[in-house]
Structure 1
Amino acid sequence: MRALPLSGSKNRRSFLLAGLLGTALAGVLLSPLSAHSAQARTVVDMSGTPVEIKDNPTAIADLWFAHNELLVMLGAADKIKVTAEKPSDRPWLFKIAPVLLKAETGVHPDTVNPEDLLARHIDLVIVPQRGQADALRKLGLPTLHAQYTTVPQMLQSIDMTAEALGTQQAREVAGVYRQKMDALITLLHSRVAKLPAASRPRVLHIATLNPLQIDGQNTMIDTWIKAAGGENAATVSGNHRPTTFEQIATWNPDIVIVGPTVGELDASSPFRSLPAFQKGKWVRNPQGVFPWDRYGCEELLQLEWAAKLFHPAEFADLDMRQDLRNFYQTFFHYALTDDDITRILAAQPPASTP
């Protein structure tokens, strides 16, 4: 793919548009699914455990929230028979993949009934934790541990999922996604690497206000903050770490990003006294099929959004709205309207639901 022009170009570019509908993707959309035998195959999950999977699984229980949109992206929405997600929590997911309304919803690894999965003839289970996978495998359920905390691990998990599905479509879509992620990471690095340390904003990501929790270092959030040319203002490690307003005031971040479901601040909230809030640097993170700031495949969009937020001049040539439209058309086969795009960027639900 051609390198995008550096900032200063008068033309706004769509990063995802370049080459996205070329020969490789055309093959994904037009080629038939590969033939399969009735034999099982071995897939290595994210813990390095070899798992015997039925070739071409047709009944999947996806019990990790972030992973469901990966299956949709890889063309397996109709194979999800049990899901951790619910329409009330993820309206965009069920909007773009209404076939999920036929699935059993709201089933989590800590509440799942293994006997129910066996009775449903589930031939593949996805969970976020290794211990959960080990326990379900002992009961005779082919289960993959799929969780990741970095972009390289995410790409590995997508490839693992494509191999588990065993279709040509899944493998080729995974390849296209990897190509686009690698190209974007290279682009971001080429621009932010030239920036002096003093121009990198200190960014705090607030997961929830009540209770007050932030996302620290060694997380997916920390990964996209740094890749987009920022520094994590939090000095703690891990997701959803409890903290206090006094600690946040001490960190004094340049930019505060709040999770998409975080409510509005009360008129008397002490957060209104933060310099970041006073300067209009209190920003809500977008949310589409899944919250962009967490662990779904919309990480590709999150990286671009964050880069434009942190360094608007350096990334003025990237067209966020067009890239969002292209992403949904390409990876979800869903045509967003202008209103849809505005709503997703504002972390709002669709105007109507199926």
Structure 2
Amino acid sequence: MPYRSHIFAAAVSAVFCQSVGATEVTDQRGQSLSFDKPAARAIFLPMPAASTYMAINRSEHGIAGMNASSAVAMRDGILGKLFPGYAKIATNITLGAGTAANVESILALRPDAVFQWAAAGDDALAPLERTGLKVLGMRYGSQEDMAGYIAMMGQVAGKPERAQELVARQETQRRQIEAALAGVASQERPRVLYLARASDTFRVAGKKSYNDFTIRLAGGENIAADTPSSTTVTIEQILTWNPQVVLLGNFDTVMPADLYADPRWQGVEAVRSRKVYRMPLGGYRWDPPSQESALTWIWLADLLHPQRAGIDLRVSMRGWFDFLYGYALSDDEIDTILFAPENRRSAGYDRLLVR
């Protein structure tokens, strides 16, 4: 099957059957649920999910509860400005950090749909399902997984065509980047390390992680590719790997200046060449999969291969924000999303900025 057909098959892995007065939605576990009307009080336990649903709806309405970490990203990023009603959405739906469901709090919100990671397993999903709630499992890891749950969200929201357009736009952008970097030889791919955490431990993204996919798509070599999808490593291992580029994730507070000043990192090529970058924060964090992932790909491809990528990041950001949110970004807002003050001292970043 050609890849373009394959990704759209994945996008509709939630199989939709229309009947009089009802819509059948098959989630990413293969479980079928019937909806008489679009969900009006959906709950999202996975962190990236609420902002994606907002993009599909172009509104914060229809969300009764979301992960507290999702609200933090909205508060610290631009989505809180676009959809200020986010602050009224309940965030007490988990048991502490993570995605374990607080069933009692969720029931009190009277939801008509609950989204949870399918990989959480029956122990996590069954307590919700035993209450009679409609629980939809989402899969995480690949672009195909994301395409599937975007399509599923679109059907639950009553906006399947918009969800399919989002999936199609991402696929078009992916193809454009693949074509631009098709001639990059293996020895020309910089050794890239993504750090989900670096303040108290070093947590990296290995094989079958979304960050691995992003790094490879953007023309890099994930130096942690032989490790599990998420694992903790020592500084000694990082020194052995000697990455040429380091990406700092948005689930931590560490900035490039912290690594530049850390004596332990002075022997790392990425520090010596000033190629440590904090990943942007737009409508959601740009390191995990989201409605803005195409912008992550463009941003990283531009940093790794500025002479080949050939896609204007700032123009792309304006186009994507108009499509996703109906919002016209200012130059100052783009620079804020790109962490201009924090990244300006890193190599090649000035050309992405205007201030």
Q: Same fold (TM over 0.5)?
A: yes
Alignment of structure 1 residues 253-268 onto 2, 5 Å? 253-260=243-250, 261-264=252-255, 265=258, 267-268=261-262
Does the 8 Å CA contact 2:244/2:268 hold for their aligned counterparts?
Answer: no
**Which of residues 127, 131, 134 in structure 2 aligns to 1:135?**
127
Q: Tell me the equivalent position of 2:201.
A: 211
Give the counterpart letter for 1:275 in structure 2.
E
User: Distance in 2 between the 1:324 and 1:285 partners?
Assistant: 15
- Deviates most, 89-98 or 330-339: 89-98
Residue 238 of structure 1 deviates from its aligned partner by 3.4
TM-score (norm 2): 0.81
Q: Tell me the equivalent position of 1:45.
A: 27
Residue 321 of structure 1 deviates from its aligned partner by 1.2
- Please say if 1:323 is aligned against 2:316: yes
Q: Structure 2 vs 1, CA of residues 292 and 117 (structure 1 numbering), >3 Å: closer, same or farther?
A: same
- Greater helix content: 2
- Deviates most, 105-114 or 276-285: 105-114
- Deviates most, 288-297 or 108-117: 108-117
Matched residue of 1:234: which SS?
coil
Matched residue of 2:91: which SS?
coil
**Which of residues 304, 311, 324 in structure 2 aligns to 1:310?**
304
**Which of residues 40, 44, 55 in structure 2 aligns to 1:73?**
55
User: Distance in 1 between the 2:102 and 2:234 partners?
Assistant: 38
Alignment of structure 1 residues 19-98 onto 2, 5 Å? 39-75=21-57, 77-85=60-68, 87-91=71-75, 92-98=78-84
Instruction: Give the length in aligned residue pairs.
Output: 310
Mark the runs of 5 or more structure 2 residues left unpaired by the alignment. Answer: 1-17, 343-355
Matched residue of 2:266: which SS?
helix
Q: Tell me the equivalent position of 2:167.
A: 178
Residue 111 of structure 1 deviates from its aligned partner by 5.5
- Please say if 1:290 is aligned against 2:259: no
Does the 8 Å CA contact 2:103/2:128 hold for their aligned counterparts?
Answer: yes
- Please say if 1:125 is aligned against 2:125: no
Residue 52 of structure 1 deviates from its aligned partner by 2.9
Does the 8 Å CA contact 1:287/1:347 hold for their aligned counterparts?
Answer: no
Give the counterpart letter for 1:143 in structure 2.
V
- Residue by residue, what CA displacement relative to the aligned partner does 1:187-215 show, whole Å, maximum 9, x if unpaired? 12222221211111111101111121111
- Deviates most, 119-128 or 39-48: 39-48
User: Distance in 1 between the 2:222 and 2:181 partners?
Assistant: 15
Q: Tell me the equivalent position of 1:227.
A: 217
User: Distance in 1 between the 2:240 and 2:36 partners?
Assistant: 54
Residue 347 of structure 1 deviates from its aligned partner by 7.6
Does the 8 Å CA contact 1:215/1:237 hold for their aligned counterparts?
Answer: yes
**Which of residues 176, 179, 200 in structure 2 aligns to 1:187?**
176
Q: Structure 2 vs 1, CA of residues 198 and 85 (structure 1 numbering), >3 Å: closer, same or farther?
A: same
Does the 8 Å CA contact 1:219/1:237 hold for their aligned counterparts?
Answer: no
The 4+ residue runs of structure 1 with deviation greater than 6 A are none
- Residue by residue, what CA displacement relative to the aligned partner does 1:96-155 show, whole Å, maximum 9, x if unpaired? 211222211243265544344334321011112343333311211101112321111111
Q: Tell me the equivalent position of 2:9.
A: none
Matched residue of 1:77: which SS?
coil
- Residue by residue, what CA displacement relative to the aligned partner does 1:195-243 show, whole Å, maximum 9, x if unpaired? 2111111111011111211111110000111111111101433343110
Matched residue of 1:273: which SS?
coil
Mark the runs of 5 or more structure 1 residues left unpaired by the alignment. Answer: 1-35, 350-354
Q: Tell me the equivalent position of 1:14.
A: none
Identical aligned pairs, as a percentage?
26
Q: Tell me the equivalent position of 2:145.
A: 153
Structure with more contact order per residue of length (Cα contacts < 8 Å, sep ≥ 6): 1
Q: Structure 2 vs 1, CA of residues 107 and 272 (structure 1 numbering), >3 Å: closer, same or farther?
A: farther
Q: Structure 2 vs 1, CA of residues 201 and 39 (structure 1 numbering), >3 Å: closer, same or farther?
A: same
Residue 302 of structure 1 deviates from its aligned partner by 0.5
Q: Tell me the equivalent position of 1:32.
A: none
- Residue by residue, what CA displacement relative to the aligned partner does 1:157-205 show, whole Å, maximum 9, x if unpaired? 1011111222xxx222222212211211211222222121111111110
